[in-house]
Amino acid sequence: MIIDALNGRELASSVYYYARWQKGLFCKPALNQFRQHPLDYIEGLEITIKDCIKQAGGDDIARNIKGISVDTTGSSPVAVDSTGQPLALLPEFENNPNAMFILWKDHTSVKEAAEINEHATRFDINYLKYVGGIYSSEWFWAKLLHILRADEQVRNAAHSWVEHCDWIPFLLTGGTDARDIKRSRCAAGHKALWAEEFDGLPPDDFFSSLDPLLKGFTEKLFKDTYTADVAAGTISAAWAQRLGLPEDVKIGVGAFDAHMGAVGGQIEPYHLSKVMGTSTCDILVAPTTDIQGKLVKGICGQVNGSVIPGMVGLEAGQSAFGDTYAWFKNIISWPLNNLLDSSKVINTEIAEALKAELSAQIIPELSRQAALLPLDDVNELAIDWFNGRRTPDANQLLKGAITGLSLGSDAPRVFRALVEATCFGAKSIVDRFIQEGIPVKGIIGIGGVAKKSPFVMQTMADVLGMPIRIHEFEHTCALGAAMFAAVVAGIYPTVEDAMTAMGRGFDVSYEPNEANQKLYAKRYEQYQGLGDFIALQIAQTKDAPADNTKILS
């Protein structure tokens, strides 16, 4: 996306669908394995930037580009060699998923996360204190340990371990030494246990006593971190020529999408910014003086400067949000996806066109039909842990559930239960902040679901009992990255100044329906009770005898 730094106006945008990802390569959803090849990123980077420049006016626009900043998913790290090159870019590793980026949603390291949590209790210093007290399989160290254990080839070749948001700026600046990678304060603090109090990462002894494979690894990583208003460097001559850009373009230190999205969405202190896409990432900022001595249990970290320099950024979220709706869509689309191509009534071309047409209509029509259903306290009820639970109290072993089904349960009714479940999950996050002494004064909605799903947003407003403002800009995370790029390039002195000048405001507000609030309060109690039951059953299954004898309660 190209943004006018004067007023935040979008000049051009371009979307690239990752070719390998679309084919499902290197991923095994049944095993919670989700990997991405670095070539997807490199190709997408080049294609979209060139396309944006062409759309916006070609060379006349290109010569006026002053800064580039990137937001990425996370924790999505990769093993690199001493030059900082991801191992998957080397011929011997090009088809090895363990040498690729391990996406945040990859939960193959659940066992390692559990070991880190148990191990941390043995130390006088609580090294998990700034990540809510629970380490997650979605994060840096659990993923690293799992890969080191699982793949000897990768283990022997890995010189360091790098977040996606740190590698892209390193790539664009032409870095050739892994030691020179500027590490994001956002990624390091929220996912890698970096903290100012520890003067960097926890000591080597913390990791080597967990597993000897980690001995000496902290020395290969980093001590210093940088906020996203700092330049990672200047674009390399090679990348400037490749992209058709001037050689003085500043490249900013990267950060995670939700954190930059909160800035793009004009976050305010104690207003919860909800980036709603495949998952949710909920961001809240507070003055540093307010948070001193206060530790919030069960969230995804509290880090000084991870969102806005000079303020503490607090992160929470749900491991599946839009993914929950996509899962249900895939369930009911099974005949379309698996039987239509073999139809003897229509040809392949018509089958593909029909498949595309109906697929695009499923969620909007389910939303319309679900909104017409009467509310009561005996409706179908669901739990939203289809990809585990991120917040509060991370537990990726948890599973989703649907109950209260009858012969009268149809697709709109089940869809409504899933929407309610995701909204109840959002309420549990708000409640945790409030219980821990962090007020939530308002809700800001950004991301694809917030912009495209009025039914979901109205349900959420009713469940939370709070108004939800929807930011006008569609690609708010990219807008936030542009705000940081404007600061990095020297156009604005601070992030706050960039937010003021480039913020696009809010175009929709969802007000809670008072008539629904009491009923949803009762439904929320049912959701909590069902969640407790599901968690108990999973815990019992996890601890069951080897012969899988069922435990009765």
Domain-wise residue ranges, the chain: 2-253, 266-283+320-383+395-428+443-553
H or E segment at 311?
strand 311-318
User: What is the rounded CA–CA span in Å between residue 435 and residue 166?
Assistant: 34
Q: Which amino acid does the sequence have at 437?
A: G
User: What is the rounded CA–CA span in Å between residue 526 and residue 520?
Assistant: 10
Contact 363, 340 (CB under 8 A): no
- First vs last C-alpha separation in the chain: 55
Burial of 26 (0-12, 13-18, 19+ CB in 10 A): buried
Please tell me the CATH code under which domain 266-283+320-383+395-428+443-553 is placed: 3.30.420.40
What is the reported pTM?
A: 0.92
User: What is the rounded CA–CA span in Å between residue 274 and residue 443?
Assistant: 7
pLDDT in tens, the chain (553 residues): 999 999 999 999 999 999 999 999 999 998 999 999 999 999 999 999 999 999 999 999 999 999 999 999 999 999 999 999 999 999 999 999 999 999 999 999 999 999 999 999 999 999 999 999 999 999 999 999 999 999 999 999 999 999 999 999 999 999 999 999 999 999 999 999 999 999 999 999 999 999 999 999 999 999 999 999 999 999 999 999 999 999 999 999 999 999 999 999 999 999 999 999 889 999 999 999 999 889 999 999 999 999 999 999 999 999 999 999 999 999 999 999 999 988 889 998 999 999 999 999 999 999 999 999 999 888 999 999 999 999 999 998 999 999 999 999 999 999 999 999 999 999 999 999 999 999 999 999 998 899 999 999 999 999 999 999 999 998 999 999 999 999 999 999 999 999 999 999 999 999 999 999 999 999 999 999 999 999 999 998 765 443 333 323 2
172: closest CA among 230, 222, 242? 242
266-283+320-383+395-428+443-553 shares the fold of 2-253: yes
Q: Which CATH architecture has domain 2-253?
A: 2-Layer Sandwich (3.30)
